[in-house]
Amino acid sequence: MSRPAENTSTTVGAGTEEGSPSERLLFGGPLLHDTGWNKHERAYLEMSLWAMASSLPRLVASTVRLAWRADRRALWAVGCAEVLHGVTQAIGLVAVNEVLGAVLATGPIADRLHAAVPALIWVAVTSLVGALAMSASTAGTGRLEPKVERVATEMYLERVIRVELEAIEDEDFHRLLDSAQYGAAGARRMIRYCTAVVGALVSFAAAAGVLTVLHPALLPLLLLMTLPRSWAALRNSRTRYESFQRWAQHARAGRLLSQTLIRTDPAPEIRVHDVGPFLLGHFRSMSESSEGEQTRLARSAAKTRLIASALTGIATLVTYLALGGLLLTGVMALSVAGTAVLATRSGAASLTTLILQVNSLYEEACYVMDLERLCVEAHKRAIPVGGLPVPDQPRLIRFEDVTFTYPGDSGDSGTRRPALSGVTLDIPMGKIVALVGENGSGKTTLVKLLAGLYQPGEGAIRWDGQDAGALDRADLFSRFAMVSQDFHRWPLTARMNIAIGRTDGPLEEERVEAAARYAGARKVVEEMPRGWDTLLSRGYKGGHQISGGQWQKLGLARAHYRDAQILIVDEPTSALDARAELEVFEQIRQLAQAGQTVLLITHRLASVRDADLIHVLEKGRLRESGTFEELTDNPPVGIFRDLYEMQRRQFVDEQAAALPGQRKPADADATETSREL
Ligand SMILES: Nc1ncnc2c1ncn2[C@@H]1O[C@H](COP(=O)(O)OP(=O)(O)OP(=O)(O)O)[C@@H](O)[C@H]1O
């Protein structure tokens, strides 16, 4: 995740409400996010010296907590080294004062130098110890930083994997994820800033102590000198953070374009359709918009820094004039004035470092707070833990008047379109139940509700009368194996692509073999260059590519390996050849005979001939239910019958159009006919 200053991708000039041509053409509208709401929701955006100072203890505490979780010993080492470094600086300053006092005193020069020797030894010793402490701190920080980033990353990942599917598909949640990902790296940087803050704080305390002893008026003057730079740093941080928030989605879209150009799956289409130059052009146009924003940020930062430098110059002049006045009026001795100059320089440097580091800490903390906010949000949107146990051997699952609308899925009129409306149907266990219907009729949505991935908006899904909403979701998930249309093609070995179906126990080789045999994937694996160990991802060492149908066999094998009570197969044969398709349906029949429940979604209507029950959906509503015979023989008209007839006619036409030598015998067996359908 890159910050605005590092972004290489993004859109229109800031403030263009309707978005750039690229945004409109590719993404349907502007991607810039209005950060107005942030100002209300996140008080920390209102950066001020006071806000920063008052939240400093909390920020340091949260970083220390993370570091404590990551590596306690390293944290102790860094803390002790920083305090030691500060103490050596304080002693060093006092020793310098002693040296100056001795050298500028009256008497022979040899005596004066002799008198300064003990203090000089202190200066040397404190410098040496200080240097050792600094290197110990650097080593400890280097050890801590990656661990803190890992702990922070794990912190949000372990929550994100438990959120409802709905949250993962939600735009706002994603934006928070963008920021939180940056927050993990921010936590790492916070360690460095925290260390620097502790160091600068101790150094400043040492210089301030010495100055106050020399003359009480010097401390306020020192503070005055550092105020302008603090203001500038704060202002620039806030502008950067606001810009990051506003451009986060735009930056992600830009990265999407650049990543698409280098990914392996779209590579063939990019070449044959010559999409590359087109996408590259839009990537450039989006990047130019982003560069416009970077230029705006840089100009604003330069202006702020210029004003701050002018004010610092005036404040420095005032400080040195005051010192001169003290000297001239005899209030301060020359040796003391020398120490005061040294202490002022050292104090100003420490204070500037302190304020800059606190400011950086604060800026990083904004992202880390987003990470914390994500954790809170993920906790709120987590899949509930616990609940009633799912019946061991359920007999019937019933959808009762189920209505479901995808969140945020509203039409132009602003009204939401339900993907399922008032659906009431039965799924008897131990049977093959088929779901058929045209594209977008709600079949996949229905099985996702069944598997507990979404909750019905209205109505209920009952397992032997028990509302699924009250059931233990983890228990519910464990009852399902799923081969969805877009099952994941894991960029892992062939073996893992099957064994990932069940990861709550040790990998069982025999069961992997059995699952592969079941799905007809054994031969596919045998033909791979490294057999089971073949990595199924091009672009990695030894990576291998397999065909869509071969993937589908692995997907089926994975579902079989999972060995669950209910098998959901969504278009299981769309990429399979005729022989493999026949085999799959035969396997499904055998599973049902062995008592497994199979929920089959397919567009090949002849394939559902053996289903015990067929539900026909249309535009999110259940239109027909029955066996194949009931749906084709009895009704004079009906959706299923119409669709089936349409597919059958297409097959007959194809047969008639075939060359005489290729035409099948008139009495071609029914199985073959049904397969083609
Ligand atoms: N994740 C989602 N977010 C928003 N809307 C969705 C989502 N998934 C599906 N839809 C919408 O819900 C409706 C039903 O989709 P669904 O995938 O259930 O249909 P389907 O019958 O399985 O279609 P197909 O046969 O094409 O697979 C469609 O209008 C679709 O656009």
| Residue 38: inside a domain | no
410-440 pLDDT, tens per residue? 445 455 689 999 999 999 998 999 999 989 9
Residue 142 lies in a domain: yes
Cα separation, 420 vs 118, whole angstroms: 88
pLDDT in tens, 480-513: 998 887 788 898 999 999 999 988 888 999 999 9
* Atom 2 of ligand 1: nearest residue by CA position: 406
When pLDDT is cut at 50, 70 and 90, the band that residue 307 belongs to is very high
230: helix, strand or coil: helix
> CA 527, 528, 531, 535: dihedral to nearest 10 degrees?
-160
Is the C-beta atom of 166 inside 6 A of ligand 1?
A: no
- Sheet with 396-404, strands from edge to edge, namely 420-428, 396-404, 458-463, 466-467
Asked if 623 and 592 count as a contact pair (C-beta separation under 8 A), the reply is no
Q: Which of these, 610, 609, 641, lies nearest to 623 by C-alpha position?
A: 641
Question: 358 in a domain, yes or no?
Answer: yes
Q: What pLDDT was estimated at residue 43?
A: 39
pTM: 0.72
pLDDT band at 580 (very low <50, low <70, confident <90, very high): low
* Test site for ligand 1: of 168, 423, 445, most ligand atoms within 8 A of the Cβ: 445
Q: Within 13 Å and on the Cβ side, how many CA atoms surround 161?
A: 6
Distance 379 CA to ligand 1 centre (A): 27
Handedness of CA 553, 558, 561, 563 (dihedral sign): negative
Domain range enclosing 345: 46-380
Q: Is the CB of 442 under 6 A from ligand 1?
A: yes
**Is 559 contained in some domain?**
no
pLDDT digits (tens, 9 = 90+) for 243-291: 887 887 788 888 888 888 887 778 767 887 788 888 898 899 888 888 8
pLDDT tens-digit profile of 217-231?
778 887 888 788 878
Mutate to test the pocket of ligand 1, among 406, 449, 617 (most ligand atoms within 8 A of CB): 406
| CA dist., res. 120 & res. 102, Å (int) | 10
Has residue 555 been placed in a domain? no
Q: For the chain, what is the largest distance between any 2 Cα atoms, rounded to a whole number of angstroms?
A: 129
Tell me: do 228 and 141 sit in the same domain.
Answer: yes
Provide CB contacts within 8 A for 363, sequence distance 6+: 237, 240, 241
Q: Which residue owns the Cα nearest ligand 1 atom 3?
A: 406
Is the same domain home to 137 and 281?
yes
Q: What distance in Å separates the CA atoms of residue 304 and residue 311, rounded to the nearest whole number? A: 11
Q: Are residues 515 and 631 in the same domain?
A: no
Task: Verify whether ligand 1 is closer than 6 Å to residue 171 (CB atom).
Answer: no
Query: Is there a single domain that holds both residue 90 and residue 215?
Result: yes
The average confidence (pLDDT) of the chain is 81
- 130 and 260 together in one domain: yes
Domain match, 533 and 580 both: no
- Reference 45, options 306, 294, 251, 243; nearest CA is 243
Give me the number of domains the chain comprises: 3
Mutational test site, ligand 1, from 164, 435, 443, 573, max ligand atoms within 8 Å of CB: 443
Whether residue 369 is found in the same domain as residue 447: no
Is 198's pLDDT higher than 80? no
- C-alpha 456 to ligand 1 mean position (Å): 15
Q: pLDDT tens digits, residue range 67-100?
A: 899 999 999 998 899 888 878 887 887 788 788 7
Contact by Cβ (8 Å): 375, 184 = no
573 lines ligand 1 (CB under 6 A): no
User: How far is 354 from 541, CA to CA, in rounded Å?
Assistant: 48
SS3 427: strand
What ranges in 500-638 are assigned the alpha helix state H?
509-518, 522-526, 548-562, 578-593, 628-632
Q: Is residue 274 part of a domain?
A: yes
What sign results for the dihedral spanned by CA atoms 146, 152, 157, 158? Answer: positive
Pocket flag, ligand 1, residue 448 (CB < 6 Å)? no
Residue 673 has pLDDT above 50, yes or no: no
In short, whether 602's Cβ falls inside 6 Å of ligand 1 is no
Residue 99 and residue 195 in one domain:
yes
* C-beta separation of 573 from 584 below 8 A: yes
| Binding site membership of 662 for ligand 1 (Cβ less than 6 Å) | no
Whether 338 is in the pocket of ligand 1, judged by its Cβ within 6 Å, is no
User: 408: Cβ below 6 Å to ligand 1?
Assistant: no
Instruction: Give the CATH number of the domain where residue 75 resides.
Output: 1.20.1560.10
Q: Classify strands 613-618 and 621-626 as parallel, antiparallel or unpaired.
A: antiparallel
Tokens 């064994």 locate to 499
Q: Ligand 1 centre and the CA of 411: distance in Å?
A: 14
In sequence order, the 6+-apart residues with CB closer than 8 A to the CB of 647 are: 604, 605, 606, 677
Cβ of 572 closer than 6 Å to ligand 1, yes or no, is: no
Helices and strands of the chain, counted as H and E runs: 21, 10
Helix, coil or strand: residue 480? strand
Report the pLDDT value the prediction gives residue 380, as an integer from 0 to 100.
92
Task: Say if residues 185 and 149 touch (Cβ distance below 8 Å).
Answer: yes
Nearest CA to ligand 1 atom 18: 442
Is 389 part of any domain? no
Query: Is the CB of residue 439 below 6 angstroms from any atom belonging to ligand 1?
Result: yes
Q: What are phi and psi of 566, to 5 degrees?
A: -120, 125
Domain identity same for 421 and 506: no
Secondary structure class of 495 (helix, strand, coil): helix
Q: Are residues 68 and 176 in the same domain?
A: yes
Query: Mean per-residue pLDDT for 354-359?
Result: 77
SS3 category, 581: helix
Q: Is 441 in the pocket of ligand 1 (CB under 6 A)?
A: yes
Indicate whether 466 and 322 sit together in one domain. no
Among 168, 169, 170, 441, name the best residue to mutate to test ligand 1's pocket (greatest count of ligand atoms within 8 A of Cβ): 441
Q: Are 571 and 446 found together in one domain? A: yes
Q: What long-range pairs does 560-563 form, CB within 8 A, spacing at least 24? A: 560/481, 560/501, 560/514, 560/515, 560/518, 560/519, 561/498, 561/499, 561/501, 561/502, 561/511, 561/512, 561/515, 562/481, 562/501, 562/502, 563/481, 563/502, 563/511
Q: Residue 102 C-alpha to ligand 1 middle, in angstroms?
A: 86
